[in-house]
Structure 1
Amino acid sequence: MLQGFNHLTLAVSNVEISFKFYRDFLGFKPEAIWDHGAYLSLGDLWLCLSLDNVRQEKDYTHYAFSIAEANFPLFHQKLKTAGILEWKENKSEGESIYFLDPDGHQLEVHCGNLQTRLKSSFKDPYPNMIFF
């Protein structure tokens, strides 16, 4: 049976550029790098960057990372200063920034968690929302 999330692999067009973005800009810990890929970590997350053709899908698929509320304004300013493109405006519970990595992967930095989202949704549920 499944035990939890194992790792996230992202197709990247340039391993070095993406490695630097995730390491230097987002603060991931470098674990290994080679010609066609890299491993980085962030807390319990294992991130694999894999050299491949990157597809630009336009849907709501994205990868969200946690940030403390106290660090949110500084991080948001860091994004703006670096000219990082934001792809969506936050309309949900908690502070969030939606932005793109060098290959256009849709990322989010969010101050809440599942419990804060459920609490907010319980007060103002989505249409036909059922809670378990």
Structure 2
Amino acid sequence: MLTGLNHLTLAVSDVARSWEFYYELLGFEPRAKWNTGAYLSLGELWLCLSLDAVGAKTDYTHYAFTVSPDALTTLVEKMRLKEVKEWKINKSEGESLYFFDPDGHRLEVHAGNLESRLNYCRLYPYPGMEFY
């Protein structure tokens, strides 16, 4: 059966601009780049940037990346200097920054993990929450 996330492909309107954002600003490792796409990695995550039309995004779907609390502070400063647009203010456990990439994909950097979130939720559960 399934064993984990294989890769994440994002439609991008400008490969070079997205390459700069993910590689130079967020620190993904460059793996390959061509006229209509690129491969980057972040730990075990394989990211594909694919040249394509980008549609409107209006729901809560987003992609979150782990960051240490110290690195989060530095990254927030860099993002705000680059005037990267934010799409949400963090209201949940763990420090986070919610922001858009150049094509409007909703991203998050989060200094926490599933266990810290569950521990918090045991103290302050969401309505109707059950634990397993």
Give TM-score, length-normalised by structure 2.
0.98
State the Cα deviation string for residues 59-100 of structure 1 (Å, max 9, x = none).
100000111112221111111111000000000000000001
Mapped to 2, the partners of 1:29 and 1:71 lie a distance apart of: 17
Aligned to 2:21: 21
Percent identity of equivalent pairs: 58
SS for the counterpart of 1:65 is strand
* Counterpart-to-counterpart distance in 2, 1:52 and 1:71: 32
Kindly report which structure 2 residues correspond to 1:61-100, keeping only aligned pairs within 5 A, or say none. Answer: 61-100=61-100
| SS of match in other structure, 1:91 | coil
Work out the number of aligned pairs and report it. Answer: 132
CA–CA distance in structure 1, aligned partners of residues 116 and 21 of structure 2:
29
**DSSP 3-state at the match of 1:58:** coil
The CA distance in 2 between the partners of 1:126 and 1:78, in whole Å, is 33
**Corresponding residue number in structure 2 for 1:44:** 44
Give the partner amino acid of 1:106. R
**TM-score of the superposition, structure 1-length normalised?**
0.98
**Contact 2:29–2:42 (Cα < 8 Å) also in 1:** yes
CA distance in 2, matches of 1:69, 1:33: 31
RMSD after superposition: 0.6
Moved over 4 A (4+): none
- Asked if the contact 2:57/2:104 (under 8 Å) is kept, the reply is no
Q: Distance in 1 between matches of 2:89 and 2:43?
A: 27
Distance 1:73 1:20 in 2: 20
Shift in Å at residue 57 of structure 1? Answer: 1.5
Question: For residues 52 and 35 of structure 1, what CA distance do their matches in structure 2 show?
Answer: 12
Structure 1: where are the runs of 5+ without partners? Answer: none
Alignment check: 8 A CA contact 2:98 2:106 kept: yes
Q: CA deviation at 1:36?
A: 1.0
